[in-house]
Structure 1
């Protein structure tokens, strides 16, 4: 599996952001399934899911304090990386 994501440490909190399809954010069960799957890759870290709409506007789902922080960060400032996980 290949996916885009980032690990960020801000104010002493390390968390992971994972890019998902927009439909995932529209379903609580899809969010839970995605988060569970990525938890093995990013153990003991809060997982934030991110999707972009057709205009490229990001939407985040996850821990409220982290989502509020990310709402003020331009996506180009996030250190995105391509992850390969087998």
Structure 2
């Protein structure tokens, strides 16, 4: 599995933003499923899921204080990194 994520520290909180497909954020079940999968790779960090449809503004899902902060930041300036992990 390969995914893009950015690890950020803001006001003493280190958290991870993970890019997911837009349809993931449309249902509580798929949101919870994604969180469960990614928490294996980032077990101690709050997880923010980010989706973006074409060239529109990104949509964030997660802790409201972190989402509020992210809505003030240009997502293109975040320290994105591609992760490849073995499944299973």
- Return the TM-score normalized by structure 2: 0.94
The structure 1 segments of at least 4 consecutive aligned residues displaced by more than 6 Å after TM superposition are none
State the match for 2:47 in structure 1. 47
Answer with 9-18 or 48-57: which moved more.
Answer: 48-57
Q: Give the Cα–Cα distance (whole angstroms) in 2 for the partners of residues 43 and 22 of structure 1.
A: 23
- Return the TM-score normalized by structure 1: 0.96
Q: Let me know the Cα RMSD of the aligned residues.
A: 0.8
Corresponding residue SS for 1:55: coil
Q: Give the Cα–Cα distance (whole angstroms) in 1 for the partners of residues 71 and 9 of structure 2.
A: 16
Corresponding residue SS for 2:72: coil
Alignment of 1:1-86 (within 5 A): 1-86=1-86
Which stretches in structure 2 are left out of the alignment for 5+ residues?
none
Provide the aligned length of Structure 1 versus Structure 2.
86
Q: 1:44: how far off?
A: 1.3
